[in-house]
Amino acid sequence: MRITEYRKALALGQKECARCRSHGCSPYLPVLSEILAAEETCGEVSLGLVDLPLEVVVGTKFAGRSKSFSHSFLPLMEEDTEFAAKWMALCHTHMEEGIQDPIQVYEYMRTFYVQEGHKRVSVLRYFDAVTVPAYVTRILPVQDESRGSRLYYEFVDFYQLTGINYLWFSGYGRFARLQAAVGKPPEAVWTEEERRDFFSFYLRFSSVYGDKGTSELTGYLTTGDALLIVLELFGYEPVKDCTASELRTKFLLLREVFTAQPDWESGVKKLLQWLSQPVRAVTDPVRAALRPDGRARRPRTPPRGGGE
C-alpha cells in the first residue's frame, strides 16, 4: 500500500515538474534564504504553535531540500532512496493514526517556508489535509511606504486581533473592512470559537471560489477580495452557515447582476473599484439591481427609433 501511494505521488510530482517547465517556471520549491538575500529585514518574532493552513505553505527555508519536491510539495526522489522510505513511513503513520508532530516554519510576507518537516507537509498535502500544527517564526520586512509593506503591515495588525493567517487582499483597508463585516469593533480580539467558525466558513467559500461557474466574476480577485464582497453585500450572519452549494448560488446571482448591466465595465474591474470605496458604494448599486425576488433586474430596452 505505502509503495503504491509513493509511486502515485512521485508520478504526480514528475507530471507537475514537466508542466512547470513547459510554462517556463521553476518546478521546485521556492527558497526563502535566496529570497531574503535580496531583501532588507528588521527582525524576527516567534508566533508560537499555530494551526497552519497547508495552502499557505509554499517553500523551504534552505536550498538543500528544494529539488526533492515539486512546486506543491509532491516527492521527486526515486522509490529506492532513503527519502522515499521515510516518506512511506510517514504515509503509514498518517493512515494509521494521523501526523501529530508540529513542523517548523518561517513566515515572510504572509507566505510560509519549511525549516523542519518537509516530508510531513508532502504527505499531508498528498492526502488533501487542510492544516498542520506548526511552530512559526515571522521575519519582519522593513516598514516603509511601498505597496507591499503597507499591505503586509495591515495583515500583521489584523493577525494580532484574529490569528488568521490565510487571508490576503489586493488593496488597502480591506482587513479593517473585514473586521467590520463580521460585526467586530476595530480593536476587538476574536475568540477561539469565532476563529474556528470563520475558518469553517472560509473553507466552504474557498471551495466555491474559482469554480467554473463563478470564475467569470472572481477570476482576478483574491479569495479575500471575493469573500469581502459577499460579506458586505449579504452580511456575515446570513452566509456564515451556508453550504458550498448555497454560496455558489450567491456567486451566480452576482454574475447575473453584472451580465444584466450592459453599460458596466467587466465585473471584476468594477468590483475592484468598489473595494476601494466606502462600504455603501459596494453594496448599494448591486442591491439596487436586484428585484425583490432576488433575481437581477434587466435593463430597460430603449424605444426604437433612437428616442431618449
User: Count of alpha carbons within 13 Å of 72, Cβ hemisphere only?
Assistant: 17
Mean pLDDT of 274-297: 49
Which structural domains are found in the chain, ordered by start?
A: 1-142 (3.90.1530.10), 145-302 (no CATH)
CB 237 within 8 A of CB 287: no
Instruction: Dump pLDDT digits (tens) for 166-213.
Output: 999 988 999 999 999 999 999 999 999 999 999 999 999 988 876 544
Query: What was the pLDDT predicted at 233?
Result: 82
Q: Is the pTM of this model over 0.85?
A: no
pLDDT at 77 over 60: yes
Average pLDDT for the chain: 84
pLDDT grade for 304, boundaries at 50, 70 and 90: very low
Q: What is the rounded CA–CA span in Å between residue 38 and residue 211?
A: 37
Query: What was the pLDDT predicted at 225?
Result: 86
Q: Which three cell numbers stand for residue 27?
A: 518546478
Find which of 24-28, 215-219, 241-245, 282-286 is predicted with most confidence, using mean pLDDT: 24-28
* Identity at 245, one-letter amino acid code: S
pLDDT at 266 over 70: no
CB 137 within 8 A of CB 45: yes
Instruction: Dump pLDDT digits (tens) for 126-152.
Output: 999 999 999 999 999 999 999 999 999
Query: What was the pLDDT predicted at 164?
Result: 96
